[in-house]
């Protein structure tokens, strides 16, 4: 049997990792600025994380949700404290897509409706409901297409209010920051208006913080920059250091009914040990603040790099030794825009970045992500340092 070939793979085989570094099977060391899609929040193989999971495995690794698991209650308390949502309830599952499925289901139970408002450019997962509210028809099979979803433009409150006025909306779902969509940050004023509009209509607001949560943006959740409190919050990637997990934070307005939600593996003992360790490390090492400070430094260095040549309106960077004022020698690719919050950064270029990203990986040994054809997406571990940033900026300058 062979693997089902759906992934485009780089010819790199990681075998060991520590902190912000990865080593491949040839002994080559890499700087990780992508964290496996924002998953490695506290760095690779943190000793407290390794000890917690190893210790738990020696006790009990799994049993179903038909018994008491005090680790689930401990995690709920810690997430409530870290996030500022101690009065909300926690439902545990296995992934971000599954978290979004359950949030949409809860919203529909609550309103008795089925149509959902989502936003253009959105990505919420690949399971049936989650992919239906994802703005990418190419990954939506006919089986997923029966869901009633209306996509409206980001930051367009008039369009949202128009749809809400029709009285058939189950819920509104929005990302704290669109990741796959290109590090698109909803305007803070729009988020506040969205919260007001959904409250007025009696429609649950779902905040997808799967990628932007767990401290990544310099606050525990990205929506907290706007000072709002949604009804349902989904999270996953950065929760457990690479162990599969997902969760929904649920407002007290939602009444639980036995059997309305369920999962076999969600909340298992190993996942809880991993997630508790991550929560403790984030708190003890002040990683939310570190994400903010190092993220600001990273953005400032990128913006300085973009403005190296004042003669270029777009901020072109020439190869070393080339005159900035020579239009003929100007670099063929330029930094067009830098956007994001904390350690969720998008660097948009004036042209395709496939070759640039390949050179960063194979010539400079730096892992980065991508969004579309022209953007490098940076989702480094929250343990990233300013020295790591300097290494990346030097490498990017040389490659450009």
Strands (E), 143-182: 149-152, 169-175
- pLDDT at site 314: 38
- pLDDT at site 308: 72
β-strand partners of 232? 206, 250
Cβ(346)–Cβ(336) under 8 Å?
no
Tokens standing for residue 18: 């520590």
End-to-end CA distance of the chain: 42
32-42: b or e for each residue (b if 16 or more CB lie within 10 Å)?
Answer: bbbbbbbbbbb
Alpha carbon dihedral 313, 314, 319, 323, in 10-degree steps, equals 0
Residues of the chain with pLDDT under 70: 309-331
Q: Which fold has domain 14-32+286-399?
A: 3.90.1150
Q: Beta 246-250 vs 89-93: how paired, if at all?
A: antiparallel
Q: For residue 314, what are the contacts with CB-CB under 8 A and spacing of at least 6?
A: 306, 334, 335, 336, 350
Cβ(206)–Cβ(171) under 8 Å?
yes
Cβ(205)–Cβ(64) under 8 Å?
no
Going from N- to C-terminal start, the domains of the chain cover 14-32+286-399, 47-284
Q: Which of 209, 205, 230, 222 is nearest to 88 (CA)?
A: 230
Q: What gap in Å lies between CA 37 and CA 369, rounded to an integer?
A: 8
> CB 70: neighbour CB atoms within 10 A?
9
- pLDDT digit string, tens, across residues 33-72: 999 999 999 999 999 999 999 999 999 999 999 999 999 9
Classify residue 268 by its DSSP letter: -
Q: Which fold has domain 47-284?
A: 3.40.640
- pLDDT at site 307: 83
Q: In terms of C-beta density within 10 A (0-12 exposed, 13-18 middle, 19 or more buried), how is residue 54 classed?
A: exposed
Q: What gap in Å lies between CA 176 and CA 191, rounded to an integer?
A: 9
Helix (H, G, I), strand (E, B) or coil at 322: coil
CA 275 to chain centre: 16
Q: What gap in Å lies between CA 306 and CA 318, rounded to an integer?
A: 10
**Helix or strand (DSSP H, E) at 111:** helix 96-111
Q: What gap in Å lies between CA 60 and CA 159, rounded to an integer?
A: 51
- pLDDT at site 313: 35
- pLDDT at site 225: 98
Q: What gap in Å lies between CA 214 and CA 42, rounded to an integer?
A: 10
- pLDDT at site 331: 52
Tokens standing for residue 68: 């008491």
Q: For residue 2, what are the contacts with CB-CB under 8 A and spacing of at least 6?
A: none
Q: What gap in Å lies between CA 20 and CA 396, rounded to an integer?
A: 17
């Amino acid at each position: 049997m062979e693997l089902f070939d759906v992934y485009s793979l780089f010819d790199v085989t990681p075998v060991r990792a520590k902190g912000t570094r990865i080593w491949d099977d040839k002994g080559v060391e890499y700087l990780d600025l992508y964290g496996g899609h924002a998953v490695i929040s506290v760095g690779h193989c943190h000793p407290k994380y390794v000890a917690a999971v190893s210790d738990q495995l020696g006790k009990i690794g799994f049993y179903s949700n038909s018994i008491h698991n005090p680790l689930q209650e401990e995690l709920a308390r810690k997430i409530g404290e870290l996030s500022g949502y101690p009065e909300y309830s926690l439902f545990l599952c296995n992934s971000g897509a599954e978290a979004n499925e359950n949030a949409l289901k809860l919203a529909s139970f609550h309103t008795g409706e089925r149509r959902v408002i989502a936003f253009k450019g959105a990505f919420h997962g690949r399971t049936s409901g989650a992919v239906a509210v994802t703005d990418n028809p190419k990954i939506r099979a006919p089986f997923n297409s029966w869901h009633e979803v209306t996509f409206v433009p980001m930051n367009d409150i008039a369009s949202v209010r128009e749809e809400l006025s029709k009285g058939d909306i189950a819920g509104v779902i929005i990302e704290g920051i669109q990741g796959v969509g290109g590090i698109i940050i909803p305007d803070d004023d729009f988020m506040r208006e969205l919260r007001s509009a959904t409250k007025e209509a009696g429609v649950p607001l779902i905040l997808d913080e799967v990628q932007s949560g767990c401290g990544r943006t310099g606050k525990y959740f990205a929506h907290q920059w706007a000072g709002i409190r949604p009804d349902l919050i989904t999270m996953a990637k950065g929760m457990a250091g690479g162990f599969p997990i997902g969760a929904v934070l649920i407002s007290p307005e939602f009444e639980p009914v036995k059997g309305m939600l369920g999962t076999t593996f969600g909340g298992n003992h190993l996942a809880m040990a991993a997630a508790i360790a991550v929560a403790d490390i984030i708190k003890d090492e002040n990683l939310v603040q570190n994400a903010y400070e190092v993220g600001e430094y990273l953005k400032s260095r990128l913006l300085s790099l973009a403005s190296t040549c004042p003669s270029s309106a777009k901020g072109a960077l020439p190869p070393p030794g080339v005159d900035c004022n020579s239009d003929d020698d100007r670099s063929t690719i330029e930094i067009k825009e830098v956007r994001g919050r904390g350690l969720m950064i998008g660097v948009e270029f004036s042209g395709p970045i496939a070759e640039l990203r390949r050179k960063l990986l194979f010539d400079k040994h730096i892992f980065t992500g991508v969004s579309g054809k022209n953007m490098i997406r940076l989702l480094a571990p929250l343990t990233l340092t300013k020295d790591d940033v300097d290494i990346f900026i030097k490498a990017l300058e040389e490659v450009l």
